[in-house]
Chains A and B, each alone.
Chain A
Amino acid sequence: MRFWLYLSITALAAADGRLLPLLSQHCGSCHGGTQTQGGLSVNSMESLSKGGKHGPALALILPHITGEKTPRMPLGAELPASVIAEFKSAIQSIPTQAPIIDEHWSWLLQNPAQSAPPKTKNTAWPRNPVDAFILAKLESQSLTPAPVANRRTLLRRIFFDLIGIPPTPEEIKSFLADPDPQAYEKQIDKLLADPRYGERWGRHWLDLVRYAESDGFAIDGERPTAWRYRDYVIRSFNNDKPYDQFIQEQIAGDEYRGKGTGPQPDRIVALGFLRFAPWEADANSKKQLRQDFLNDVTGTVGSVFLGLTTGCAQCHDHKYDPIKHRDYYRLQAFFAGTATADLPIAHGTVENPKEMKRQQRLHDDESEAAQAELDRQREALKQKYMSLFQVKEDDAKVKQFLGKLNTKNLFFLDQDLPLVKEPEWRQPLKNYFDTRDKMQREQELARRYQALAYAVKDVAPPAAPDVPDTHVLIGGDLIARAEKVEPGFLFKTTPAEIPFAGGSNGRRLALAEWIASDENPFTARVIVNRLWQRHFGEGLVRTPSDFGRNGEPPTHPELLDWLATQFIERKWSIKSMHKLMLTSAAYRQSSHHPAQKEYAFNDPGNRLLWRMNWQRLDAEVLRDSILAVSGRLNPVPGGPPVLFDVPEDVAQGFEFFKWYPSSEEEQRRRSVYLIQRRSVIMPMAELFDAPNLSTSCARRLTTIVAPQALTLLNGALTRTEATHFATRLEKAADPVNEAFWLALSRPPTETERQTAASLANKSLASLAAVLFNLNEFLYVE
């Protein structure tokens, strides 16, 4: 970390007295007093900033004393690491710039204001207070909102938005025919009560929490029971769990003392949130690995719940926001006693415990049988080897040969065992590796059914006598330990009060209750903005995980505050906020405005929301929609992950694990249930901008690239499902008509009918494939 390169000359004037004495002591004999070797004097900050023949000297001190630059200083001697750390700390203490509480931050630090919706000239348009805020802003610019979208568009919009699957022809037709003035509202209620809602909105949350079912890095070991967290999230959304409780469970479920206290498996499962970062299982430095975990948690808690880039203060004071380097470690101190742990749980209340146990036993039995068979084959191979080379069992060669059998796969065996190329060896060896595969596969399956939560726990006495100290780390470097700090909330100077909480140390609980509090100025604003972002395509703050000065300022700060206060008033109910936003006139606007050209010229980003934004389907929604339209989506919810097919050459390349795809039927389940393995991202998800699984993803990009077209034109999913879609259509009286209703919720236009019919006469499957590739299929108006 070379943060000191950034120090400006002006900052030098403010330096404290720590650096000069150090310089005088260690460098003074050549650069102090009257000595000015190389033209450099360390007598004053001025002479340092003037520097010697190599220019200003402050930025050169560390590179030369650490040996990063030659010659290493002081000449002929190496400073001990402790002195170097002192230098680092002294240089770090030179303030870069004092945190400025500007207008933006003084707004942000205050609790959301409970303001009355503004008055508007047009009183007919607003349907609820949300609209008053939107319209007032439009009117101030002499703009008018777009007309309301047609009913078909509206229904498709809320279906994709809330459950991520298009309406069936019956659903759309009955809605179009429903004379009830509340028909639209009824549809929203119906979809919010639909269990597929949690599958759609849970996925948004999984994006944020860098959810993955493997460690990443080289080994990328599976996290076999991480899926319980995914199901927990889906359930929480479906049950409209109050968001404050949802937060507390994920940070401190084990210490939870809110409503409905008591040991609930879900509260342990929820702790997985703290643990989803990549994990370098074979890291050389376990201390660094532990620090990486702490850094991830400190950064992720800040960005997910508070919308603050706290991670930026890991090495130095935040460059834009009033978050001091020290504050970062005060925040980190809440996790100082927390360690990763797989915790036994009673099978969740919603899981089927009998079935879980049965599956585990089944796969255990299978793997034991395979193990026995493997031992038998191993013995046979050994005998074969011994007789070939005429050696005894205790010969080193035999030992070596058996060692090779533990190798990863035939390729690796190939490298050092020429034997493999002999035909009479090839088959038995292949059988041996196949058996090992089967055993490993069964073991892998059994592990997924274990009654374990992928979680954390506090290290308490007697395992650890006390919570370890937290120190400020200069430059984020573990060896550069500076001041010791106590847990403290951001923007509060006094240490946090830690409630006692049973076997744990209560620190996380304190943090969780501070975050999930009506009084926290960030939490409600950040989540209502995230909800708005998913409904409208853009947040009111368009950098949803960065509310700071380097993010974008809110387009409608008063609306954001009003929504935040509503959210708290509505007892942190996410579903009630959906309803509020979706029933607004703003949401019901058409995505086309009659004065589009003129408006788009002045406001190309549609910041004032004079029309609805188009949205492209997410990767998962696209895949689920294709399966839904072909009639083959397998609706089974929850449970261990589904492994999709990967090309054979890809499958053979994994060094530390084998890839065992699930059954065809399983593979037709919703995308949220597909395994999220860091080194094996599903190609279609990767192409259509799904998150990379390593860091929190607050907002997906939408790119348009040719490989997307190739995969939708030629890929196995399209072609297989097109065939089934065609089979479904064959039964219809008017297949072309039915095809359009299923895929697009409307009949074809006359021109479309001609085009489609001529293609359908050649092949219905081809028509089906074309429909999957249409812009209208991929984009929601």
Chain B
Amino acid sequence: MNRRQWIYQSAFGLGSAALGQLLAADKRPHHQAKADACIFLGMLGGVSQIDTFDPKPKLIELNGKIMDWSKEKKTDQPNLFAKPRKFVASPFTFKKYGQSGREVSNLLPHTAQCVDDLAIVRSVQSDNGNHPAAVFQMNTGFIIPGNPSVGAWVTYGLGTANKNLPAFVAMPDFRSIPFSGAQQWGSGYLPAEFQGTVLRAASEPIRDLASPSNVDPKLIEAERVALRGINSAFQQERPDNPDLQARIDSYELAYRMQLEVPRVLSIDSEPDAVKEAYGLNDPITASFGRRCLMARKLVEAGVRFVEVFTPSQSWDAHGDIKKNHEKNAGETDKPIAALLNDLKQRGMLSKTLVVCMGEFGRTPDTPGEQEIPGRDHNTRCQSMWFAGGGAQGGSIIGTTDDIGHKAVEDIYHMHDVHATILHLMGLNDMRLTYYFAGRNRRLTDLGGRLIKQILS
């Protein structure tokens, strides 16, 4: 039994938050961290490994030929696999890049230039081929709702480095937010203080951050003074309830956030070259680019964990792999490269872990009757990458079969990705536990395997 949690939980009757904050201040990593912060780029819908980082020349000769699925018992989408299917060669061409000479397709011309900073894992598998369950697993380790997200676990383990900002921030694309909305960055059964705060692209980045515009700022200040006065007097007569002081402190933090957040997020002050690099001047890249730039600024200001998501199911290229992936790469490739370069130029990349992945990979084939080829869901392999923060740039891990249908060597699971993120941030996934409903819970359930080959 983890005593610390027992104390934490049992103490709620007395002065939960005060004690919680006491413990939060005491948070230390389990071991020396390589990364102080993590930026997680969620490519929702599932990116095709075959068209990005895992070239399959064999598919060129197989293109259009019928795939025999009779030997495969389990498929992710039974309905789609009941009928004949045909192989699809990648519509994109591959070239070697960088000193490491890693192959990247011409779908990602900008990211390709950064390949020496990427540790690419071609063999990540997951448990469920349905988007909602798979997105849950990517974000929380489990295919069912109700569990804390990776960012919540990290915050629970490490606390915050900037008391004036939320420690964990999520930036979905509001054109289409991830399934189940806030549960994807929620704290599950962990206390609510570890939940991700949503930053919106709208004028007000955090809900209710700004004082009401129809109230005179002088009045706001008078309210603040009155509130503090009455609350302090009440607290002084009841010093034995630590919650009262904790709540007074939370108001002071809220006032500081009102000043700090707009300052940190102000993009206007960024040089034009930076705005251009992130693609803010182009309506296609502006949305993702803006959020990537905000991610960099937040990490710079001490935020622990930042998530940036593409629209829900955006990469889901059933209908037309070429058109879909060109559109989505067009929105994200340039901003992602800009983020990596920017972090590097500022000397932040070595201490900032960047992770880029989707909820699963895609199939090497398409339904036989489909005229324009697409690719369907594939949980047996996806190519994802780590960069910075202790990940060995230029490395490549894992092998898939010659048609890119499944990983065959150095196979890793989503839990292993999570264990590796925690490890690089100084946390041991077996030791990061929380007692809930009868037992100590973990992000990685019964434990993940470290992807050792990516460690620098």
The answer to whether A and B belong to the same complex is yes
B200 touches A649 (CB 8 A): yes
Nearest to B165 among chain A residues (CB) is: A706
* Alpha-carbon separation in the docked complex, A5 to B444 (Å): 14
The listed residue (A652, A713, A758) touching B175 by CB distance below 8 A is: A652
Question: Does chain A have a CB within 8 A of B271?
Answer: no
A552 touches B446 (CB 8 A): no
User: Closest Cβ of chain B: how far from A323's Cβ, in Å?
Assistant: 10
Which of B132, B209, B210, B411 has its CB near the most chain A CB atoms (within 10 A)? B132
* Alpha-carbon separation in the docked complex, A311 to B441 (Å): 14
The listed residue (B73, B146, B240, B246) touching A692 by CB distance below 8 A is: B146
A713 touches B211 (CB 8 A): yes
Q: B62-70, B85-93, B251-259, B350-358: which one contacts chain A?
A: B251-259
The listed residue (B16, B188, B411) touching A703 by CB distance below 8 A is: B16
| CB 8 Å contact bits of B170-197 with A (1 = contact, 0 = none) | 0010111101111100101101110101
Of residues 143 through 183 on chain B, the ones whose CB sits less than 8 Å from some CB of chain A are: 144-146, 166, 172, 174-177, 179-183
| CB 8 Å contact bits of B186-223 with A (1 = contact, 0 = none) | 10110111010100111000111111100100010011
B254 touches A546 (CB 8 A): no
Question: Does chain B have a CB within 8 A of A91?
Answer: no
Contacts of B186 in A (CB 8 A): 692
Given known contacts A278-B144, A752-B230, is B438 in contact with A217 (CB within 8 Å)?
A: no
| CB 8 Å contact bits of A607-640 with B (1 = contact, 0 = none) | 0000001101000000000000000000000000
Q: A19-27, A425-433, A769-777: which one contacts chain B?
A: A769-777
The listed residue (B166, B188, B230) touching A755 by CB distance below 8 A is: B230
Nearest to B246 among chain A residues (CB) is: A704
B438 touches A779 (CB 8 A): no
User: Closest Cβ of chain B: how far from A554's Cβ, in Å?
Assistant: 13
* Alpha-carbon separation in the docked complex, A184 to B195 (Å): 42
Question: Does chain B have a CB within 8 A of A86?
Answer: no
| 5 contacts across the A-B interface (CB closer than 8 A) | A600-B14, A650-B177, A686-B192, A710-B254, A756-B226
B438 touches A309 (CB 8 A): yes
Nearest to A281 among chain B residues (CB) is: B132
Q: Lowest 9 A-B CB distances belong to which pairs?
A: A309-B438, A694-B146, A218-B132, A704-B17, A709-B254, A653-B177, A706-B253, A649-B174, A694-B145
Question: Does chain B have a CB within 8 A of A731?
Answer: no
Contacts of A775 in B (CB 8 A): 231, 234-235, 244, 247-248
Question: Does chain B have a CB within 8 A of A503?
Answer: no
Contacts of B181 in A (CB 8 A): 650, 653-654, 679-681
B327 touches A767 (CB 8 A): no
Given known contacts A614-B243, A710-B257, A762-B222, is B176 in contact with A411 (CB within 8 Å)?
A: yes
Question: Does chain A have a CB within 8 A of B10?
Answer: yes
A714 touches B176 (CB 8 A): no
The listed residue (A309, A538, A711, A719) touching B13 by CB distance below 8 A is: A538
Given known contacts A309-B437, A680-B181, is B12 in contact with A702 (CB within 8 Å)?
A: yes
A709 touches B250 (CB 8 A): yes
Contacts of A81 in B (CB 8 A): 73
User: Closest Cβ of chain B: how far from A480's Cβ, in Å?
Assistant: 14
The listed residue (B10, B206, B207, B222) touching A766 by CB distance below 8 A is: B222
Contacts of A1 in B (CB 8 A): 446
User: Closest Cβ of chain B: how far from A10's Cβ, in Å?
Assistant: 20
Question: Does chain A have a CB within 8 A of B28?
Answer: no
Question: Does chain B have a CB within 8 A of A550?
Answer: yes
* Alpha-carbon separation in the docked complex, A568 to B172 (Å): 52
Told that A545-B437, A703-B191, A774-B231 touch, could you supply 6 new A-B pairs with CB distance under 8 A? A81-B73, A218-B130, A278-B144, A695-B146, A704-B246, A755-B226
User: Closest Cβ of chain B: how far from A498's Cβ, in Å?
Assistant: 29
Question: Does chain A have a CB within 8 A of B284?
Answer: no
A707 touches B78 (CB 8 A): no
A217 touches B179 (CB 8 A): yes
Given known contacts A280-B130, A537-B13, A776-B234, is B172 in contact with A770 (CB within 8 Å)?
A: no
B13 touches A605 (CB 8 A): yes
Of residues 172 through 206 on chain A, the ones whose CB sits less than 8 Å from some CB of chain B are: none
Contacts of B180 in A (CB 8 A): 216-218, 220, 678-679
Given known contacts A218-B131, A319-B439, A719-B212, is B409 in contact with A774 (CB within 8 Å)?
A: no
* Alpha-carbon separation in the docked complex, A702 to B20 (Å): 10
Interface size on B, residues (CB 8 A): 89
B226 touches A767 (CB 8 A): yes
Contacts of A5 in B (CB 8 A): 446-447
User: Closest Cβ of chain A: how far from B192's Cβ, in Å?
Assistant: 4
- A-binding residues in B (CB < 8 A): 1, 10-14, 16-17, 20, 73, 76-78, 128-133, 144-146, 166, 172, 174-177, 179-183, 186, 188-189, 191-193, 195, 197, 200-202, 206-212, 215, 219, 222-223, 226-227, 229-231, 233-235, 238, 240-241, 243-244, 246-248, 250-251, 253-254, 257-258, 311-313, 323, 327, 409, 411, 437-439, 446-447
* Alpha-carbon separation in the docked complex, A654 to B172 (Å): 12
Of residues 678 through 695 on chain A, the ones whose CB sits less than 8 Å from some CB of chain B are: 678-681, 683, 686-689, 692, 694-695
Which of B78, B247, B313 has its CB near the most chain A CB atoms (within 10 A)? B247
Contacts of A776 in B (CB 8 A): 230, 234
Given known contacts A280-B130, A710-B206, is B179 in contact with A679 (CB within 8 Å)?
A: yes
Question: Does chain B have a CB within 8 A of A303?
Answer: yes
* Alpha-carbon separation in the docked complex, A762 to B1 (Å): 56
Contacts of A613 in B (CB 8 A): 13-14
A217 touches B133 (CB 8 A): yes
* Alpha-carbon separation in the docked complex, A691 to B78 (Å): 35
User: Closest Cβ of chain A: how far from B40's Cβ, in Å?
Assistant: 19
Question: Does chain B have a CB within 8 A of A354?
Answer: no
* Alpha-carbon separation in the docked complex, A702 to B14 (Å): 11
| CB 8 Å contact bits of A573-592 with B (1 = contact, 0 = none) | 00000000000000000011
Contacts of B439 in A (CB 8 A): 309, 312, 319-320, 550
The listed residue (A604, A678, A763) touching B11 by CB distance below 8 A is: A604
A681 touches B13 (CB 8 A): no
* Alpha-carbon separation in the docked complex, A688 to B128 (Å): 33
Nearest to A217 among chain B residues (CB) is: B132
Of residues 641 through 693 on chain A, the ones whose CB sits less than 8 Å from some CB of chain B are: 647, 649-650, 652-655, 678-681, 683, 686-689, 692
User: Closest Cβ of chain B: how far from A315's Cβ, in Å?
Assistant: 10
User: Closest Cβ of chain B: how far from A324's Cβ, in Å?
Assistant: 15
* Alpha-carbon separation in the docked complex, A769 to B224 (Å): 10
